[in-house]
Amino acid sequence: MIVRNKNSLFTIFVLVNFLLYFSVLAQPKSEVNMVDDHPTLIIDGKVYPPFAYMSYLGEERYYKEVAASGVHIYNIPAYFGERGINSTSGIGPFRSPIWIGEKQYDFSSVITDFEKVLNSDSQAKAIIRLYLDPPLWWEKKNPDAASHLPDGSTFRQCFASEKWRNETGEVLKDFMEWLSKSQYADHLAGIHVAAGFTEEWFYHPQQYHDQNPVFISAFRAWLKNKYNNTAALQKAWNDSNFNFSTALPANIDEVEKRNDWRNPDKEQNYVDTYGFRAELMVENIAYFCKIVKEESHGNLLTGAFYGYHYFVTDPRRGHGALAKLLDCPDLDYLSSPNDYNRVMGEDWPPMAAVKSVHLHGKLWLAENDTRTSITTLLKDQSTGIAPPGMYEGGVWLGPEDMETSVALLWKNAARMLAYGYGGWWFDMWGGWFSDPELLTVISKTQQWDSEFQSSANIDMQPQVCVFVDEELSFWDASYGSLTNKILSNRYALAKAGTPYDLFLRTDLEAISSSQFRVIWLMGMLKLTEDEKLKIEAWRKQGITVLWTNGNKTVIYERDGREISMDGKLNWPVSDLRDIWKKAGVHLYIDTDDVLYVGNNWLSIHTVDGGERTIEFPYNAKVIDPLNNKILADATKSLRLKLNPKSTTLLRVNYLK
């Protein structure tokens, strides 16, 4: 009788666990798969336009507006701790904390957000943006796992602490278990793991010179893995006094800055410090993404902010290991805001080499936090979150008129459609897009991504390719100004009359050069022997090569000539256009407007407007999709009159 009861209990135990396991497996599956060589978002077996909506304050009336526009994916903010995302501005958290004590949780903020979303949209799918920075009580209880500041105080987490990582990981598992058993499980699509300064896996400035012994120990282990033996370390650092037991991270929190590049014979310790810190961030992202995948049995999306090498040029932030993160099997997508040079007439590219992201099978999602003429201030929309005088000027203000606002939103949409990536409309404080004209942009972007299928058209592919080194800023003793001078060529590139592809230096061997007429090695201080051989091979193929290092640009022309231009690091549009013409690159326009071309889309963003002539390298059928009007049945040249402060988006079909 006793044995039979034990067997019965065991049977019940197995059955309960089977049912729990099956309930997780039955959860809707969200994934990113390659379809026709494009990373594609698939939920419940259905292709979804990769566009979403998010607001920090989350009001139902705005959820209802975007739902009516056809958007059904929502980003929901959630916080383990009770501290704000910006540790220098004093901003407060946007939600109450989840992790309120040891094995004690308060999920009420998540419940409230789900209820708001589902009351507004029964078709909703949610991605939770989960901020992993710890609560204050945890920091006080675990000073050994916090960052140690030079004055002896602690600050939040130490990113090298296994204790922080493991305990936070356990909380993440508990959170996901609750989600899987909740009534919201069917509406959950993914977890966006976030941490650090402004949720973007930056080191908080207070953490620049973390002196926690576990941080130093992790750095020494990283050095040993890189150099293998003491002799190699001492040679690289040009100092016989260091070994794997005494090496210390460089003090990157120094006040004085130099306006030059670091000396590789004397300052390799700085470069190694940045390399370690960047890879540490990537390891943390991968760690938490793996938990999400394992706990959801692969059913949930994972994503993070990372890889800002094309805009954030201060190496102390920790973004210099994107290439390593792209090899993470548990990561589905990456994100950044658009370039913050938020003016009319300029390109706002993502902050990373999106083509490399796609090459490795990851989806790119832009954060379109675009200010409009109806953008409000945080202090006017909430109480107790914005510190007095903060978030009130500069980039937090939108344009003065709706005409400009519409043009900027269309520019966001055009770039995503033309270059094959997605994003979310980030309505930070709510109401930024609450206007029929702005909602039309959101609606049409969603509709056209589903309605129009891109065709393989080699003649529409870019003939200019740019490679950038994400570790360039590691060598910049100015903490970013020299790096920015080189990378700010991104603005001229967008206005030179033709599209371009952007890849990481580490993908150079993986890219076929057959479609390109120009290849620009932009910001590579020193070339490897293999890269020198590549240049010679490209020249033999008739490709013009530019190499910009820290002091000059060398042009290797396809006729064999070599032109060295000392001090030439930043190029005006007219100079680039001349090089493109000489190299045989097709130019669609000859004016300094922002141009996007790709995936059967062509867009012109202009400040002044006026007559424009578009030249196609093939016979094209040109359609105005907004007005459903055919502008040309078959043409190689199209003349348009553009309005001032406008973005024109055209559908271009290749005709054989």
Q: What is the pLDDT of residues 46-56, one digit of tens each?
A: 999 999 999 99
Domain that holds residue 277: 13-451
Residue 174, H or E segment: helix 162-181
Q: Identify the pLDDT of residue 12.
A: 47
Give the helix ranges, DSSP H, for 343-468: 354-359, 378-381, 402-419, 436-451
Q: Identify the pLDDT of residue 8.
A: 52
Q: Identify the pLDDT of residue 17.
A: 52
Q: Identify the pLDDT of residue 257.
A: 82
Q: Identify the pLDDT of residue 350.
A: 98
Q: Give the CATH number for residue 250.
A: 3.20.20.80
The pTM of the full predicted model, rounded to 2 decimals, is 0.94
Quick check: 347 and 490 in contact, CB under 8 A? Answer: yes
Angle of CA points 66, 67, 68, to nearest 5°:
90
Q: How far does the chain reach from its first CA to its final CA, in angstroms?
A: 82
Q: Is 553 part of a structural domain of the chain? A: no
Q: Is 45 part of a structural domain of the chain? A: yes
Phi then psi for residue 41, to 5 deg, are -85, 125
Residue 372, judged by CB atoms within 10 A of its CB (0-12, 13-18, 19+), counts as buried
Domain total of the chain: 1
Quick check: 199 and 87 in contact, CB under 8 A? Answer: no
Q: Is 302 part of a structural domain of the chain? A: yes
Q: Identify the pLDDT of residue 223.
A: 98
In 10 A of CB 38, how many CB atoms? 13
Quick check: 295 and 188 in contact, CB under 8 A? Answer: no
Q: Is 43 part of a structural domain of the chain? A: yes
HSE of 572, CA atoms in CB hemisphere, 13 A: 3
Q: Is 318 part of a structural domain of the chain? A: yes
Residue spans of the chain under pLDDT 50: 1-6, 9-16, 18-25
pLDDT one-digit tens code per residue, 475-503: 999 999 999 999 999 999 999 999 999 99
- Which SS3 state, helix, strand or coil, does residue 145 take? helix
Q: Identify the pLDDT of residue 18.
A: 47
Q: Is 7 part of a structural domain of the chain? A: no
